[in-house]
Amino acid sequence: MVSRAEAGCGQRESPNCCTGRNNECFEYSKRKTVCYCDTYCQKTGDCCEDYQRVCQISAAIDCVVGSWGPWSSCTSPCGVGSTERSRQVSVPPRNGGTPCPDLKQRRGCFGNNAICSSAKEVAKILPDSFKRNFKDPWRRPHMLMKEEKASYCVNLRVKQASAACKLKLWSAQLVRERLLCAECQSDAMSKSDRCGGDGLESTRTFWAAASVPGCHGSWVRESSSEGCRCPPYSVLFV
């Protein structure tokens, strides 16, 4: 036991003082009771008498944070998603001060953008063996051919396909995570020069195989190309 004159943090073996909370960082006070030399003792009020002088640590500084920033846009433009906001630390905690509170918050949201009407469209598809680039044998030489609009291709990632899709050879390729090229030809285009249900980026939309009853699923659009043709074993919008 140390003498009353030699008690306190100054009599501890190196280190005299400890940061944070450390129950092993103790000594005996002049009253021969246990006292502490860690920064947490400022919170609990059980520091040794010479703590401020020996440890030369100023008063505890609590964490200070700024105001919340704005909420981010909904992660799903159509349907259920999430949104979050954050705030920054203005003054970090020191010397055993109060830790910082949560710096991020997240909550649910429901996206309902203008494009959501397109997300409700269900694409009807057929295998590319139904390509419409045949010549009409009944067309008279003097008859003008209908001007066709240029086709475009859409690359879509299949996210789900029903079990019925396995019944036909062409639809059996519609499996989860398969990247599929779907071609929109002139005859299948609407007045807006696009095929119904041709997908949305980052949003799941739905499709159905026109010649396979019960074959349907969902996909996500990854890219599109104007004036192109899909490679063999692709599908067509109808």
Domains of the chain: 7-55 (no CATH), 64-112 (2.20.100.10), 117-134+150-237 (no CATH)
> Nearest CA to 50 among 95, 96, 1, 10?
10
CB atoms within 10 A of CB 73: 12
In one letter, which amino acid is 188? A
Does residue 146 carry a pLDDT above 60?
Answer: no
Does residue 41 carry a pLDDT above 50?
Answer: yes
- Across residues 150-167, what is the average pLDDT? 93
Does residue 73 carry a pLDDT above 80?
Answer: yes
Does residue 145 carry a pLDDT above 60?
Answer: no
- Across residues 45-66, what is the average pLDDT? 84
* pTM exceeds cut of 0.75: no
- Across residues 183-211, what is the average pLDDT? 87
CA distance 108 to 86: 15
- Most confident listed range (67-81, 107-121, 139-153): 67-81
Q: Provide CB contacts within 8 A for 14, sequence distance 6+.
A: none
Does residue 92 carry a pLDDT above 50?
Answer: yes
Q: Would you state the pLDDT for residue 98?
A: 83
Could you give the residue ranges of the DSSP H alpha helices within 94-212? Answer: 116-119
Does residue 68 carry a pLDDT above 60?
Answer: yes
Q: Would you state the pLDDT for residue 1?
A: 47
The pLDDT tens digits of the residues spanning 9-34 come to: 988 887 888 888 899 999 988 888 99
Does residue 208 carry a pLDDT above 80?
Answer: yes
Q: Would you state the pLDDT for residue 75?
A: 83
- Across residues 220-238, what is the average pLDDT? 90
